[in-house]
Amino acid sequence: MNYWIGVASKDHVNRGVAGGFCQLCHGKSAPLNRMKEGDWLIYYAPKKRFKSKEPCQQFIALGQILAGDAYLFEMAPDFVPFRKNVAFVKNSEAISLQAVADDPLWQEYRSRLRFGHFQIPKELFDVISSGMIKAV
């Protein structure tokens, strides 16, 4: 099992959560093909809306990759991105980037946000996800 961070605007992530899919790096297949059934994905949203400068800077969704390959989905006649199905955790809450900013492990990985998708160790996944899933 592997652990990943994906980067997308909040409005795009919310669309994926509602539809049970992830879409990364402007619809490319490569990042989706790296993730396998059972892997975990945490979405980080640097901004609230695509093509907006309004900051969000939160980890806003987490989910587990489901069985199946990446597939094409026509969003517009000139935009047919790849998607992969995800079971998103329903009771998760967004947490600010500041909540993990001082964690030494995060400091080692934070510069990778610019890549849009990257693997993280389980220890960092646990730090972030424990802030997103509150104990009942």
Instruction: Report all structural domains of the chain as residue ranges with CATH numbers, in order of start.
Output: 3-132 (3.10.590.10)
Residue that the structure tokens 């890549």 belong to: 115
Q: Please give the mean pLDDT across all residues of the chain.
A: 93
pTM for the predicted model, two decimal places = 0.92
Q: Is the pLDDT of residue 135 over 90?
A: no
- Provide the pLDDT for residue 51: 84
Whether residue 136 is predicted with pLDDT greater than 50 in this model: the reply is no
Q: Which of 129, 34, 26 is nearest to 79 (CA)?
A: 26
DSSP reduced 3-state for 33: helix
In tens, the pLDDT along 71-114 reads 999 988 889 999 999 999 998 999 999 999 999 999 989 889 89
**How many other C-beta atoms can be found within 10 angstroms of the C-beta atom of residue 70?**
23
CA distance 89 to 136: 14
CA angle (73 as vertex; 71, 76 as ends), nearest 5: 155
Sign of CA dihedral 95, 3, 32, 110: positive
